[in-house]
Structure 1
Amino acid sequence: MLRYLFGPGKREEHVRPRVVAAWDGAGPLSALQPPQLAGGWHDLRALTELLEQPVRAGFRPPAKPLWHTSIRTHPTDRILSDAQWAHIAGEIVAAIGLAPHGDPDAVRWVAVRHNDDHIHVVATLVRQDRRTVWPWQDKRKAQAACRDLEERFGLYRVARPGKGSRRWPSPAELNKAARLDAASSGARPGRRASRAGGRGAAPREVLRRRVREVAAIATDEADFFARLAHAGVRVKLRRSTRDPQQVTGYATGMDGHTTASGDTVFYGGGRLAPDLTLPQLRSRWTGTPPSTAGGNAARLAAMGNVPPDVARRAAETVRDAHEAMRAASSPAVASAIAYAAADLLTATAHAWEGRAGGPLSDAAEWFDRAAHDWHGRVPARRVSQAGQLRTMARLIAVMGAVSRDRDTLAALHLVFTLAALAESLADLREAQDRLHQARAARHAAGQLRQYQPPAGTAGARTPGMRAARPPVPDSPATDRRGQQR
């Protein structure tokens, strides 16, 4: 571990590695700093010996006595000093119980900094009184300490663990996606994965985007599964053990993403996002009563016919929903409207940019983070404005890309109206003390205000033209997005 931390790194990214903090009683940090040898290498023998002394003298030391973590600031944060990083490292090891403040017999540990934005903390699991320490819930405690340090130092504050609208890919999934992408593109191992064909993104992320795009415009369960099949997503249904005719869940997979034995890797809806489980989707389709104003539009969307001025009508719907959200007396009603607006923006981004994605798709991702409730809780659905927004989402999905100057102006009006709704959503999240979602909403609003719709897009359909249902998706080879954030 020390050889890696004081080495050049995998891509020569380690710059001036140095010890910035250590255990109580370690002495001056300059004495712990490994001397640099000819050729740039460091002599690590003395520091290694000091760290390993308690382990060798310990009573039944563990077979794996090393504990390691990295602590990183957000790219928008200021550069912290070595003294500030030392304080942060000390707070982390104290919070998890490895080296409590004022305990002279705690484990030995060091914090190594080799870049501006992060440090590594390395500790042994044997105390200096020869007893072994078994960290309990160290991840939870370390993250709780980080949330406190973010506020104390004025750093970028992130969500508490387990919050949000998605299940993030694991490091193993990201590494596998990078290996597959390198193999398909012929790149050397260790190089940054290419985005060509979408293989640079973890399959879980690709599936989550495709399932959410389909869920935003599907009218019922049968339509949802039919659209998934047309989108190139493999679907496996889970049926009740008591009633084989009853579907209780589903899982999705991608061609080419298999296990070592060749079986397709499937992800249940809940493993993509908490609100993409089948019960949550069913509440989406049945919880909102059809509105009188949107009844005709809903029938046209179901038939595949597009009325004129869809973007203008959608902008008016968003404006009315925005006013209703600001006047709502209950946060649940406001969240329901924002939740439906996220579906509208997702459908708009997919219709105008396709799977290749672009700035509108990125804005939809940020809006989605801000709109969805914690732990996949679905907000109140019996809100007429939410039903109208989803009706417009289906119409825009049928309309496809904008093709005329008048459509382009209407599309800009729609996007700017959604930007105003995103700002109000940010105010709501700030009032709820959900700052990470407030930032996501403001980021989405900024991207929406800078958006320019692709007027004259090749293959764009003229309003009024009948479209097949479900629509045939773009070629998967055009998928270039999905970089992990």
Structure 2
Amino acid sequence: MRTGDRPPRRRRGRDPPEAALIPAIHPRGTNVSGLLRYLFGPGKNEEHVNPRLIAAWSGPDQLSSLTPPLRPSGRHDVRNLARLLEQPVRAGKNPPQKFVWHASVRNHITDRILSDSQWAHIAAEMVAAVGIAPHGDPDAVRWVAVRHAHDHIHIVATLVRQDGDTVWAWNERLKAQTAARDLEQRYGLHQVGPVDRTSHRRPTAAEQNKTRRQGRPEIPRDRLRREVRAAAAAATDENDFTNRLQAAGVLVRLRHSTIRPDEVTGYAVGLPDHRTSSGDTVWYGGGRLAPDLTLPKLRRRWDSALTTTPSGSMRHPGRPQVQHRANAFRQATAAVGAGARHLGEARPTDEDDIASLAEAAADVLAATARASEGRHGGPLTEASETFDRAAREPHQRRLRRPHLAVGQLRSMARLISAVGRLSRADDTTAALQLVLRMSMIADNLATLREAQERLHQAQAAHHAAERLRSIAAYASVDRAGVRPAAVPPQPKSGTSRAARSQ
């Protein structure tokens, strides 16, 4: 399921789609007429074909009288329909300032073409699920569904009921997505699984447009997420974390408790050259970058490493000499191999062991990607982000007891972070062995996620494993001089369409 009228471009390294039928809840507005003119019009690039009304609050018998008539120019006259939608707002007791509710729903590229009546049923289920027009409520809000393409519809509603009360819709995204899961089963549409809220936030359209206007090579949110992840993997505590971010040229702002001013409860990061029109820095809290990058979750990660590090092991590794870099990667490869064995022996119910081992392995891979590809990233960095999605725990789940091998993996992540960029053939060979061993962890994690019925994460783990093996194979072939270096292609998947994560 995609959002909007045209499919977004597939961006390498992004998470796979959540499912086949996902509604996109658009920002609320005030201009019903303008929105209807667009939906019944030709579109920005003449992509709207045969725009028509397929469902409305008054039922199918009234569609013909509600359908906007054609003008001599060939355009639809939406004035009467807009007036009818606005009537409850004008007569409302306390109408909201932004009263126009807009959602779009699109099905998967592999799905069959649904009929108008099937889409009408989907629209009715969506407005009922989010609570703005419950089934059997004659005084619910007024709404219409418009179809101008074979694979998606738009739903427009005004958020004042016909009895004058305002509908204060809340949490409608999750409610609509829950309804979508049921509709996928009813209609036999492409399914992946329920939303698990482990995907990181994607850049908004405004962020993407601003990035293009400013000629930036990368969207600031993506760059900051990569910098924060690298710093978190290398850090031993939050002071070390903050210092590493500042050394990388990232601005850091700490958030203090309103009850205990000396207590730090969160952080935000920004770039020196990324500002608003008024000149203020654009800040991103850790949770706005990824679910596992909030300060409480990072603290738990660092604490688990210290409590599981064997006595005498390297907690604060120094920078190895150049001739010892390959040995550092060999040590890390051995630790990752042990982690793969532990995951292979784990049961799906061993949630704490799986979670802590996967998180620690994600840190090792993030550190390896930074040592191999630097700050600008590349295929290994993209594979690292995909694996990270597979390693995250569901929303609000707390880790109680980390696996005893976590400390050694965290130490290896810090050791790799200390070696700097790879510079010799031996370094690269040892790093490739580590990449291959990481693919074993990804394979084992995929098996466990499937058994846990965390299907999005299982798919991400499979994708990461294939990507890691592909990277190692291409790099090995290139080093042997058989062919020129090339970026390995993305593995194809039946769910390769990008969608907004939940």
Q: Is this a same-fold pair by TM over 0.5? A: yes
Please give the per-residue CA displacement for 1:139-192, whole angstroms capped at 9, x wherever unaligned: 14333322322343443446547x3264x3685xx51x345334323xxxxxxx
What is the rounded CA distance, in whole Å, between the counterparts of 1:246 and 1:16 in structure 2? 59
Secondary structure at the residue paired with 1:429?
helix
- Conservation of the 8 A alpha-carbon contact between 1:86 and 1:111: yes
CA shift for structure 1 position 102: 4.0
Deviates more, 1:103-112 or 1:436-445: 103-112
Secondary structure at the residue paired with 1:111?
strand
CA shift for structure 1 position 321: 0.6
Q: TM-score with structure 1 length normalisation? A: 0.76
Q: In structure 2, list runs of 5 or more residues that go unmatched.
A: 1-34, 479-498
Q: 2:466 corresponds to which residue?
A: 446
What is the rounded CA distance, in whole Å, between the counterparts of 2:302 and 2:99 in structure 1? 53
279, 285, 293: which one pairs with 1:276?
Answer: 293
- Conservation of the 8 A alpha-carbon contact between 2:319 and 2:418: no
CA shift for structure 1 position 216: 0.6
Q: Using CA pairs under 8 Å that are at least 6 residues apart, name the structure with larger relative contact order, 1 or 2.
A: 2
Pairing 1:183–2:213 present: yes
Q: 1:470 corresponds to which residue?
A: none
Rate the CA distance shift 1:66–1:165 in 2: closer, same or farther, 3 A: closer
Q: Tell me the amino acid that sits aligned with residue 210 of structure 2.
A: L
How do residues 82-481 of structure 1 correspond to structure 2 at under 5 angstroms?
A: 82-103=116-137, 106-125=140-159, 130-132=163-165, 134-137=167-170, 139=172, 140-153=174-187, 154-157=189-192, 160=195, 163-164=197-198, 166=200, 168=201, 171=204, 174-175=205-206, 177-185=207-215, 196-198=216-218, 201=219, 203-238=220-255, 249-288=266-305, 289=307, 291=309, 295=313, 301-305=317-321, 306-328=324-346, 330-375=350-395, 377=397, 379-380=399-400, 382-402=402-422, 407-452=427-472
- Conservation of the 8 A alpha-carbon contact between 1:207 and 1:252: yes
- Conservation of the 8 A alpha-carbon contact between 1:233 and 1:253: yes
Q: 1:6 corresponds to which residue?
A: 40
Deviates more, 1:150-159 or 1:65-74: 150-159
Secondary structure at the residue paired with 1:212?
helix
Q: TM-score with structure 2 length normalisation? A: 0.74
CA shift for structure 1 position 425: 1.6
CA shift for structure 1 position 12: 3.9
What is the rounded CA distance, in whole Å, between the counterparts of 1:143 and 1:36 in structure 2? 35
What is the rounded CA distance, in whole Å, between the counterparts of 2:396 and 2:166 in structure 1? 36
CA shift for structure 1 position 83: 3.3
- Conservation of the 8 A alpha-carbon contact between 1:55 and 1:124: yes
Q: Tell me the amino acid that sits aligned with residue 285 of structure 1.
A: W
Q: Tell me the amino acid that sits aligned with residue 295 of structure 1.
A: S
What is the rounded CA distance, in whole Å, between the counterparts of 1:62 and 1:238 in structure 2? 36
**How many residues get paired?**
439
What is the rounded CA distance, in whole Å, between the counterparts of 1:65 and 1:211 in structure 2? 38
CA shift for structure 1 position 214: 0.8
What is the rounded CA distance, in whole Å, between the counterparts of 1:218 and 1:391 in structure 2? 10
What is the rounded CA distance, in whole Å, between the counterparts of 1:242 and 1:41 in structure 2? 60
Rate the CA distance shift 1:12–1:293 in 2: closer, same or farther, 3 A: farther
Counting aligned pairs with the same residue, the percent is: 51
Deviates more, 1:250-259 or 1:395-404: 395-404
Rate the CA distance shift 1:275–1:103 in 2: closer, same or farther, 3 A: closer
Rate the CA distance shift 1:149–1:294 in 2: closer, same or farther, 3 A: farther
Rate the CA distance shift 1:118–1:211 in 2: closer, same or farther, 3 A: same
- Conservation of the 8 A alpha-carbon contact between 2:308 and 2:402: no
Q: 1:471 corresponds to which residue?
A: none
Secondary structure at the residue paired with 1:43?
coil
